[in-house]
Amino acid sequence: MTEEKATFGAGCFWGVQAAFDSVEGVISTTVGYTGGTMDNPTYRDVCGHQTGHAEAVEVTFNPSIVSFEKLLEVFWNMHDPTTLNRQGPDVGDQYRSAIFYHTPEQREKAERSKSEQQASGRFRNPIVTEIVPAGRFWRAEEYHQKYLVKHGRASCHLRW
């Protein structure tokens, strides 16, 4: 079986993980931190706004079942990509909208998808989603993994 990775930031990682977990062809998801400068950051470190990390979800998927383009579609539909460093009640740079690409092909597809979304007229404001290379991904603390499965979906504002 072929596996690929995709990494997305779309606000609080609990809801992002739940959204991707519901997609056929997704093998696994892990919540964590990426895009920052500190090694092995903790949730407290990231929330302190000194590390530059985003809350993100690393998605392992089978590309023969689900395409990267389909994952992008899920990404655009789960959050508001026009709000800088904010999703719903969550405010801070760790909640930024971002696509962390793993290959040049992912970058190209992400850029094209972002342009198509902007041109569609679906969003009144400009899309502020970052498209940046995937760096080191730091797994979040265990209590964050599958949080909504453990505590219920009512604790998250994202739509999916």
Catalytic residue among 10, 12, 72, 148: 12
pLDDT tens digits along 4-52: 999 999 999 999 999 999 999 999 999 999 999 999 999 999 999 999 9
Is the pLDDT reported for residue 139 higher than 70? yes
State whether CATH 3.40.50.970 applies to domain 4-155: no
Q: Comparing C-alpha atoms, which of 95, 85, 106 is closest to residue 46?
A: 95
Residue 157 has pLDDT above 60, yes or no: no
Number of H helices, E strands in the chain: 5, 8
Residues 71-86: tens digit of each pLDDT: 999 999 999 999 999 9
Contacts of residue 51, Cβ cutoff 8 Å, sequence gap at least 6: 33, 36, 37, 38, 41, 45
Active site residue 12: yes
Average of per-residue pLDDT across 111-123: 96
Tens digit of each residue's pLDDT (9 = 90 or more) over 91-113? 999 999 999 999 999 999 999 99
Contacts of 105 (CB under 8 A, 6+ apart): 68
Could you tell me the residue ranges of all domains in the chain? Answer: 4-155
* 8 A C-beta contact, residue 150 and residue 18: no
Q: CB–CB of 52/103 below 8 Å?
A: no
Looking at the predicted structure, is the pLDDT value of residue 160 above 50?
no
- Give the per-residue pLDDT at 32: 98
